[in-house]
């Protein structure tokens, strides 16, 4: 019997990423940065990973993902004010609300692909953003939803207070570890492989018996759920929710993070991208207010010369070294 073709449940890359993040609070202030930056990076890394499920893994260009992130943020706040001031209830509300929003959008766009998919996601993103701005009674309009509390995490008898940035950082890290592990499983599950097949060839997938529409809808809903979770954490981190995270340019940021990091070729690419994005914002931003110009230019250069992003550069360097050292290893399509 041929051996099973399995992928490791825990990879070295996974452990390295988790450990690096776990050590961040120990040195981040010593290098002149601050704890809250770490929280932001982790939340957006999670968001970008969730987003990449749609862009990199399913090949569906969504440019309105901010809607799901924002819906999660508002739902977290509204649940806190109106349902129960309990962390788990609020996070569940964020995930649930984003799932509903994702399902609603999926209903209208899952028969599309390519540019039409992109345009419709932009349109839906704008609709959600517009509602957030105009529904004053619900969202506080442009003033935002203020006074969202960092609720304590209750676990049976123990309670963790998350008021400090370091405590919140470790809480977000636990969620990040869970989400990245879950995504790793999804990507290598039968469901995930079918989605990847659909990305490459919708027609063929249909003719081997897959209902393409359902898979495209499902992957969007999953991605929306996890984006909403990240959004909920974000509103907790900044103690408020604003419509700007739902705007087109914020939706563009997550696309940039994913592409710059190399989400198209690597599972961890979006994480690299989120780190690069925030470091650029703070480090270039300390020198010039026009940091977005420089980040945008480097994005253009990267897309022109190395569309596979930072992870792609690393992979080709590693390949070149391997080629020099040993005979060529057959490439395979598993996410690494």
Partner 1 sequence: MALFEAKDLHLRFGDRVVLESVSLAFEAGQLSGIMGPNGAGKTTCFNVLTGRYKPHRGQVLWQGEDITGRSPQAIARLGIARSFQLMNLFDEFTVFENIAIALPQTRARARNMVAQAYADPALVDEAQAILARVGLAERADDEAKSLPYGARRALEIGVALACKPKLLFLDEPTAGLGSDGRARLADLILKLKGSVTIVIIEHDMEFLFSLADQISVIHWGQVIAKGTPAALKANPWVEASNLGRLN
Q: Which residues bind partner 1 (CB under 8 A)?
A: 1-7, 185-186, 188-194, 196-197, 200-201, 203-204, 206-212, 215, 222, 330-333
Provide the minimum distance between the beta carbon of 115 and partner 1 in the complex, in angstroms, as a whole number: 21
**154 or 189: whose CB is closer to partner 1?**
189
**19 or 328: whose CB is closer to partner 1?**
328
d(CA 175, CA 286): 30
Provide the minimum distance between the beta carbon of 4 and partner 1 in the complex, in angstroms, as a whole number: 5
The four Cα atoms 305, 309, 310, 314 give a dihedral, to 10 degrees, of -80
Closest CA to 193 of 182, 205, 203: 205
d(CA 221, CA 227): 10
Provide the minimum distance between the beta carbon of 329 and partner 1 in the complex, in angstroms, as a whole number: 9
Provide the minimum distance between the beta carbon of 274 and partner 1 in the complex, in angstroms, as a whole number: 24
Q: Angle CA(334)–CA(53)–CA(148) in degrees, nearest 5?
A: 140
Q: Angle CA(49)–CA(92)–CA(105) in degrees, nearest 5?
A: 60
In sequence order, the β-bridge partners of residue 159 are 154
Provide the minimum distance between the beta carbon of 184 and partner 1 in the complex, in angstroms, as a whole number: 10
**193 or 249: whose CB is closer to partner 1?**
193
In which region does residue 153 sit, left (phi positive, over 0), alpha (psi from -120 to 50) or beta (all else)? Answer: beta
**110 or 235: whose CB is closer to partner 1?**
110
Provide the minimum distance between the beta carbon of 50 and partner 1 in the complex, in angstroms, as a whole number: 14
Closest CA to 261 of 323, 303, 232: 303
**4 or 31: whose CB is closer to partner 1?**
4
**64 or 192: whose CB is closer to partner 1?**
192
**150 or 196: whose CB is closer to partner 1?**
196
- 140-to-67, 187, 252, 287 alpha-carbon distances in Å: 16, 38, 24, 34
**27 or 207: whose CB is closer to partner 1?**
207
Whether 179 and 226 have beta carbons less than 8 Å apart is answered as: yes
Provide the minimum distance between the beta carbon of 196 and partner 1 in the complex, in angstroms, as a whole number: 8
Residue 240, helix vs strand vs coil: coil
Tokens of 229: 């979770």
Whether 267 and 335 have beta carbons less than 8 Å apart is answered as: yes
Q: What is the CA radius of gyration of the chain?
A: 20
Provide the minimum distance between the beta carbon of 318 and partner 1 in the complex, in angstroms, as a whole number: 17
**4 or 325: whose CB is closer to partner 1?**
4
Provide the minimum distance between the beta carbon of 148 and partner 1 in the complex, in angstroms, as a whole number: 31
DSSP 327: S
In sequence order, the β-bridge partners of residue 241 are 145
């Amino acid at each position: 019997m041929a051996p099973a073709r399995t992928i490791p449940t825990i990879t070295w890359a996974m452990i390295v990423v988790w450990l690096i993040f776990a050590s961040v609070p120990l040195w981040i202030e010593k290098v002149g940065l601050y704890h809250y930056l770490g929280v932001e990076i982790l939340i957006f890394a999670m968001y970008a990973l969730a987003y990449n499920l749609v862009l990199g893994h399913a090949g569906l260009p969504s440019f309105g993902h901010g809607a799901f992130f924002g819906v999660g943020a508002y739902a977290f706040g509204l649940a806190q004010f109106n349902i129960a001031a309990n962390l788990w209830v609020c996070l569940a509300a964020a995930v649930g609300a984003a799932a509903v929003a994702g399902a609603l959008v999926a209903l209208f766009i899952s028969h599309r692909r390519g540019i039409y998919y992109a345009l419709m996601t932009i349109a839906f993103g704008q609709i959600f953003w517009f509602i957030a701005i105009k529904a004053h009674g619900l969202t506080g309009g442009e003033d935002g939803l203020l006074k969202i509390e960092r609720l304590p995490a209750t676990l049976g008898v123990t309670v963790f207070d998350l008021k400090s940035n370091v405590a919140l950082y470790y809480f977000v890290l636990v969620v990040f570890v869970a989400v990245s592990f879950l995504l790793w499983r999804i990507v290598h599950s039968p469901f995930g492989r079918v989605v990847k097949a659909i990305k490459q060839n919708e027609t063929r997938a249909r003719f081997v018996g897959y209902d393409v529409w359902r898979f495209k809808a499902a992957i969007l809903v999953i991605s929306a759920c996890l984006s909403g979770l990240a959004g909920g954490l974000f509103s907790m981190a900044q103690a408020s929710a604003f419509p700007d995270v739902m705007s087109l340019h914020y939706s563009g940021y997550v696309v940039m993070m994913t592409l710059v990091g190399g989400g198209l070729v690597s599972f961890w690419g979006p994480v690299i991208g989120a780190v690069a994005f925030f470091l650029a914002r703070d480090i270039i931003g300390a020198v010039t207010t026009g940091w977005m110009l420089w980040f945008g230019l480097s994005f253009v250069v990267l897309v022109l010369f190395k569309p596979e992003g930072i992870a792609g550069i690393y992979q080709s360097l590693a390949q070149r070294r391997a080629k020099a050292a040993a005979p060529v290893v057959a490439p395979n399509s598993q996410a690494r």
